[in-house]
Amino acid sequence: MFSSKEVFKEEFIEKLESMQGKTVEEATNIDKYQALGHMIREYSNKNWMATNTCYFEKHEKQVYYFSMEFLLGKLMESNLMNLGVRGVCEEGLHELGIRLDDIEAQEPDAGLGNGGLGRLAACFLDSLASLHLPGHGCGIRYKYGLFEQKIVDGYQVELPEYWLKEGNIWEIRRSNLAVEVRFGGEVRMEEQNGRWYFLHEKYESVLAVPYDVPVIGYKNKTVNTLRLWSAESNIRDFDFQTLNKRDYHKILEYKRSVESISELLYPDDSNHEGKILRLKQQYFFVSAGLQSIIRSYRKLEDTLVDFHRKVAIHINDTHPALAIPELMRILMDEEGMDWDEAWKITVQTISYTNHTTLSEALERWPVDIFKPLLPRIYMIVDEINERFCRELWEKYPGDWERIHKMAILADGQVKMAHLAIAGSHSVNGVAEVHTEILKAREMKEFYELSPDKFNNKTNGITHRRWLLNTNPRLAGLITETIGDRWIQHPAELLHLRKAANDNSFQERTAQIKQQNKENLARMIKDKSGLLVDTQSIFDVQVKRLHAYKRQILNVLHIMDLYNRLRANPNLDTVPRTFIFGAKAAPGYHLAKSVIKLINTVAAKVNRDKTIQGKLKIVFLENYRVSLAEKIIPAADISEQISAASKEASGTGNMKFMMNGAITLGTLDGANVEIHREVGDNNIFIFGLTVEEALSCYAGGGYRAKDIYNRDLRIKTVLDQLVNGFFSDDGVQFNDIYYSLLTNNDEFFVLKDFSSYARAHQMVDDAYRNKKRWYEMSIINIAHSGKFSSDRTVSEYAEHIWNIHPVTIS
Ligand SMILES: *Cc1c(COP(=O)(O)O)cnc(C)c1O
């Protein structure tokens, strides 16, 4: 159907007729989007089936990436691109008087994630399929993705994101593959022929129904599967005996309570509360996922003794760590294995990625919630803990403190990170410096116990989405210059290095950046009415709002810059446009205050004519993947300013670098490796190092008040938080002021301020020399290949999963 534009046109017209009963003239953009979407899926179905058949017949080892979040964004453009049919499609539609862009604009973002962790899972899926690797995703089909953000009077307002309103063209519901997941009830032990059996009774039965989404590799035949589970009531099995048959309301209530399991994504502020529904979600998708993997494995093998040779299961953070006791349960209770054999298989099957060192983000479940909800799983966790502590006792006799610290069950809590480490053969951090911190601090005792488990896999992003699709002009220039091998071998972007100093290449890179900035400026004008100067430096910070990411440092610096401009309107600065995008978790008050502050400062600054347009501030609402795709290609400066030691890796930093923005950042997370790649002269580094930050924490922090009293610029901006200088609506920012001064600035905002301001001055100086600037920009693009998720996924495949490419015939 995509063999030529003529064939395409014919089939598209037919599809509109058969699906919508409309002609091209009558069809709405949604109709056209649906029709095209179905054509793409039908077209990829052949390869999807071929891929499944091939994996089945060759019985190759497969990996399943378990993640509570998959932040997919839109899929139409990348699917067309990966299938290699976007050109045909665009031309055919053009001849029908339709713009492909208008159709693609209809697609809602699949926002089934909060931020970096969920987007990482989505990038990995693209790389797995594009590298011919047999790897699939397993997650939850949330009815509501991450909330939609509106800004009203400068405040964040959250609206439900009902992304399934028009249906989801990419999914196939497979009710025949539904499985049962059991909650609550009791476990009865029974002895038969010298063996103990564990019978789970009086449980609540939930039906897990899979929705499969094809994951299409780049111009190869591989189509892997993302399986998302939806919770449905199991009315058939409903225990009608226990309630009055006429009590229809009870049935409806049961139905509602079951469906609530896959209703919404928790908006996560890295502050894990022990919410029972979240624990239900975790067990729900992990149990369903494992059951379905084992069911297909069983079609080929009689026993599960070699399970780990054919199946790898990766858990993205500790959210899916219940895969460990659940696999134990299946191997023992359903397959009849003894503990030792089941444990050996489980550990060899499972691997775990840690994503944070923030202690408030470590998941812990109160036993009071855990045990009644998952009685059999609790028994198994209890036994894992028992045996683990016994092993520790043998290794460290008498060292109660250490054993208590490492225990999986302690202080009335299930410690999910400890379970994940004990129950897997590989534990990895997501950037070198992060992995070193894990080994030296957070997980020190575990590292000492089993050093071989620990390894680093620096994160990556799919350069196909984040460069080829989102910045087609730059991608075109690159291909023209070094050929198109970089699309499948991103390390080859390094060939651009030799063009970094070439005048005409620099000029063309600059022109493309300029066009991208004009596009973004147009969007800003449309959305907010604000005119921004496209000759100004586009200085961008887009990411979740969190204290450790220090949007507040950025704002305080802008306030200071504004003060200096007011004092001296002739101050010689290159005009700047500061662009923000960020969602704050609904219950995270400080983060929401920062959003209000940004908008408050913006309102005053953007109106002030005396500063001669040298400073503009834009807050773009509802930051999400599709908005990131529009912002990042237009950025000159990438703000990656987390408090050293707090950002595990970051992936936004990689997207910006790949699009030619220069990083202004701390030596934290993957910034350290970006710095190493591009060298001192092609990045703006400031602030405390990880080592300095950690030793400062170890010494009990520093005195923020001293800096406040000593530095007039800092004192002025902090006072402006609470003296009404910026707010015409009388709003004060006492909470921010308090966190910095009274609460002693946990994230070194004041301590890093002057170093940050100096770095901004260096940006200003550097931007005046355009030749040098674009040399820097090109060097960043050239070295961004290392940060492709193709590299990351290859490392996981080789060192952790032991899986190999499979060519689909
Ligand atoms: C990449 C990405 C992130 C992660 O950004 P960081 O700067 O690494 O925190 C968050 N949200 C969206 C929508 C993204 O695309």
- CA of 652 from ligand 1 middle (Å) equals 5
Q: Tell me the C-alpha distance between 181 and 175, whole Å.
A: 15
Instruction: Give the pLDDT confidence score for residue 244 in this predicted structure.
Output: 60
Cross-sheet strand order for the sheet of 684-685: 615-619, 576-581, 537-542, 637-640, 662-665, 684-685
Would you call 299 helix, strand, or coil by DSSP? Answer: coil
Q: What angle do CA 50, 91, 98 make, to 5 degrees?
A: 105
How many CB atoms within 10 Å of residue 484?
14
Measuring from atom 5 of ligand 1, which residue has the nearest CA? 652
Q: Tell me the C-alpha distance between 562 and 20, whole Å.
A: 55
DSSP 749: H
What tokens were used for 684? 């703006």
Mutate-to-test residue for ligand 1 from 543, 623, 663, highest number of ligand atoms within 8 A of CB: 543
Q: Tell me the C-alpha distance between 754 and 748, whole Å.
A: 11
> Which amino acid is residue 693, in one-letter code?
A
- CA of 623 from ligand 1 middle (Å) equals 9
The structure tokens 């400080």 sit at: 590
pTM for this model (two decimals): 0.97
**With contact defined as beta carbons under 8 Å apart, do 265 and 112 qualify?**
yes
Fold of domain 463-787: Rossmann fold (3.40.50)
Mind giving me the DSSP string for 60-76?
Answer: --EEEEE-S-EEEE--H
Cα-trace Rg, the chain: 27
The parts of the chain modelled with pLDDT lower than 70 are: 236-246, 269
**SS3 per residue for 526-545:** HHHCCCCCCCCEEEEEECCC
Instruction: Give the pLDDT confidence score for residue 245 in this predicted structure.
Output: 59
Instruction: Give the pLDDT confidence score for residue 195 in this predicted structure.
Output: 87
The structure tokens 């003060």 sit at: 563
Sequence spans of domains, the chain: 59-74+109-459+794-801, 463-787
Instruction: Give the pLDDT confidence score for residue 78 in this predicted structure.
Output: 97
- CA of 355 from ligand 1 middle (Å) equals 14
Crossing angle between the packed helical segments 770-782 and 671-678, to the nearest 10 degrees: 110
Instruction: Give the pLDDT confidence score for residue 236 in this predicted structure.
Output: 64
Mutate-to-test residue for ligand 1 from 651, 668, 787, 789, highest number of ligand atoms within 8 A of CB: 651
Q: What angle do CA 93, 98, 104 make, to 5 degrees?
A: 90
Would you call 199 helix, strand, or coil by DSSP? Answer: strand
Measuring from atom 7 of ligand 1, which residue has the nearest CA? 652
Measuring from atom 9 of ligand 1, which residue has the nearest CA? 543
Same fold yes or no, 59-74+109-459+794-801 and 463-787: yes
- CA of 273 from ligand 1 middle (Å) equals 23
pLDDT in tens, 223-262: 999 999 999 998 765 555 555 656 778 888 889 999 999 9
Please report the sign of the dihedral spanned by the C-alpha atoms of residue 620, residue 624, residue 627, residue 632: positive
Query: Which residues lie with the beta carbon below 6 Å from any ligand 1 atom?
Result: 115-116, 119, 543-544, 624-625, 628, 650-652, 655
Q: Which residues pair with 631 in a beta bridge?
A: none
DSSP 331: I
CATH number for 59-74+109-459+794-801: choose from 1.20.1420.20, 3.40.50.2000, 3.40.50.1950, 3.80.10.10. 3.40.50.2000
The residues assigned a catalytic role are 355, 543-544, 549, 651, 655
Crossing angle between the packed helical segments 375-395 and 339-349, to the nearest 10 degrees: 90
Instruction: Give the pLDDT confidence score for residue 257 in this predicted structure.
Output: 92
Distances (CA, A) of 217 to 464, 511, 615, 691, 757: 11, 32, 44, 41, 44
How many CB atoms within 10 Å of residue 53?
12
Q: Which residues pair with 232 in a beta bridge?
A: 207
What tokens were used for 399? 């060292």
Residue 393: φ, ψ to 5° = -60, -40
